[in-house]
Structure 1
């Protein structure tokens, strides 16, 4: 794995609706790997690598580049920031979390502040914490805060990538690991012929309703669609096997369904066959809640796309730090590379 590249991708800011910094980084990394690219009106980055068969079929792979985060909605008289969450958060994970406010004059650090346990009543200690219970403390008075921050500025979680055992651990593994995988796949395909035009698409605003993929799919109108995203790895002690969804170290997860999409059985079968042919260990994924760009690819092309997904098992999703296995990540690159290169060798009849 290129750990330094993944680290840079995870660290670069880009919450939903504010993706320009991460998009600029991706453009820098894919230059020379694709025949062309464009940015659509909503902000999706659509890169094209031309196929060699002369067939007009299109393959679209989507990896959303946005991350969950916050936005400044109020500065109080003492300089504390109130915020709106962007994307799904478990409020208990916010406690004492460091954040970066991306203001009009650069970045300033802050920390999520809430009532100390020492001052809580017994009743308060039993109550579930809410996001409204937190403010962001920058350590600055209001007059200084307002020199740097204004309403509407984006806020990201703070945390560098670390290697822990066989895993990488960072903020925004969801879904920057898929951005990394798609870039590495483009590199791997430099030495391969591909049959159909390949649209490597880095989408926006997935975390707030799969918005970018819907727009991009209408524009590209793909015949085949593959979403790249993380999935739950609840492989912790005292969990039941049926609760796990996926597990770290057991290979890429091939999505069967989630709450927003039932994957085309042809694509599921193709990805399974491709994994087996390349001796890649894989695991099936059924996710009972949540969704991915799969639904946008499947539904929004003119005639619908034969769509599925490759998912990266990830622990601690939508928490302060997320974790994925390095071999799983490498195997996702291998699986996607083989799937793109050999997609014309499969029987796609209904």
Structure 2
């Protein structure tokens, strides 16, 4: 099978090439819906825009929620100056040093237009200025407009979404995949593939594959979709930090790409549920699926919102170690995706009512 014929790679490409910052997730939601709808009994959205695909197994079994978020980090246009340059607000977490001189797509009412985040050439910077990163407030986007009027003629207006540019790319080592928006279209892909692998398989529960919105600005879609579903068990599937590149120490990040999904024991949004964490790692050990235990001192995933819904939901984050997250181009390992799917499918097959009760109340 060639790369062009690989349906999983095609799904990855369509999900990551889709443009969708928080509050404007229509493109990736449409892609996810197209892939997941044939695998589900029912597909609907909550009123904030999160996509929910329901697959019923044994009647009256526990409700299992599997959530990846649809949104990616990006920018929003806030102002057009007299010369046609665009000022913007970051939407999601950005570090200034990865922003300058990077290509972007501005999503206007008249269609997408190309742009670049402008920067001064080093020739005209003072020695001190060269050592510092530029403040986000001083940056602008150049779309080739000569005036405010021309930018408006292009269709640009405040509130327009802006996304990074990086086409989905299979690297020379074909297990390594580069794209924008792995954070978190890989979680959406996992939800799709889990439902695919549950086709024709008995599972003693109802599974909800969810594409949440607005995770990058406060886990917002996870709050509304979890309230809608009222699950008994919740999993967030997301990217994690890879610690296998130069300059990253074991104190900062432990995981390595290609060595299995990360089971997050702690992050700033939640302490993982011990009973569920032990059940997942015991299952992985039982069927010989590799995994990595990890923690994140800052940041969080949709589990942070899921576990606080209603009377509480035992929840766990299962993530894919990914290089260069929250930049234009991130890299992950296909084996980690496949092992995450295998693990979650095995876990779901074992989550019957008695097991969930034991996990929850023991």
Give the alignment's TM-score, normalised by structure 2: 0.93
Q: Cα distance, 1:174 vs. partner?
A: 0.6
1:77 aligned partner: 82
Find the aligned partners of 1:167 and 1:332 in 2 and give their Cα distance.
Answer: 16
**Structure 2 match to 1:131:** 136
Consecutive unaligned residues of structure 2, counting only runs of 5 or more, are 1-5
Matched position secondary structure for 2:308: helix
Q: Which residue of 1 aligns with 2:156?
A: 149
Q: How many residues align?
A: 348
- Superposed, 1:8-47 pairs within 5 Å as 8-47=14-53
Aligned to 2:306, what secondary structure does the other structure show? helix
- Residue among 5, 12, 22 paired with 1:6: 12
Post-superposition offset of 1:238 = 4.2
Q: Distance in 1 between matches of 2:226 and 2:186?
A: 22
Alpha-carbon displacement from aligned partner over 1:146-177 (angstroms, at most 9, x marks no partner): 12211111011111011222310111111011
How far did residue 38 of structure 1 move? 1.3
Deviation at 1:56, TM superposition (A): 4.5
What is the alpha-carbon distance in structure 1 between the residues aligned to residue 73 and residue 249 of structure 2?
28
Specify every segment of 5 or more residues in structure 1 that has no aligned partner in the other structure, as ranges: none
Asked if structure 2 preserves the Cα contact closer than 8 Å seen for 1:250 and 1:281, the reply is yes
Q: Does structure 2 conserve the Cα–Cα contact (< 8 Å) formed by 1:245 and 1:287?
A: no
Aligned counterpart, 1:103: 108
Q: Tell me, yes or no, if structure 1 residue 274 matches structure 2 residue 283.
A: yes
Residue 246 of structure 1, aligned match among 225, 245, 255: 255
Task: Identify the match of residue 236 of structure 2 among 215, 223, 227.
Answer: 227
User: CA, structure 1 residues 238+112, in 2 after alignment: closer, same or farther (shift >3 Å)?
Assistant: closer
Q: Which residue pairs with 2:3 in the alignment?
A: none
Match of 2:323 among 310, 315, 320: 315
* Alpha-carbon separation, structure 1, partners of 2:192 and 2:349: 15
Secondary structure of 1:208's aligned partner: coil
RMSD (Å) for aligned C-alpha atoms: 1.4
Aligned-pair distance for 1:128? 3.0
Q: TM-score, normalising length from structure 1?
A: 0.96
Aligned 8 A contact 1:114 1:133 in 2: no
Q: Per-residue deviation at 1:96?
A: 1.1
Deviation at 1:295, TM superposition (A): 1.2
Residue 325 (structure 1) aligns with: 333
The runs of 4+ residues in structure 1 deviating greater than 3 Å are none
> Deviation of residue 255 (structure 1)?
1.1
Partner-residue secondary structure (3-state), 2:104: strand
Q: How far off is 1:329 after superposition?
A: 1.0
**Structure 2 match to 1:292:** 301
Structure 2 residue 181 is the aligned partner of structure 1 residue 172: yes
Q: What SS class does the counterpart of residue 101 from structure 1 fall into? A: strand
The alpha-carbon deviation at position 206 of structure 1 amounts to 0.3
Q: Secondary structure, in 3 states, of the residue corresponding to 1:205?
A: coil
The CA distance in 2 between the partners of 1:239 and 1:157, in whole Å, is: 24
SS of match in other structure, 2:114: strand
Shift of 1:340: 1.4
Q: Which residue of 1 aligns with 2:170?
A: 163
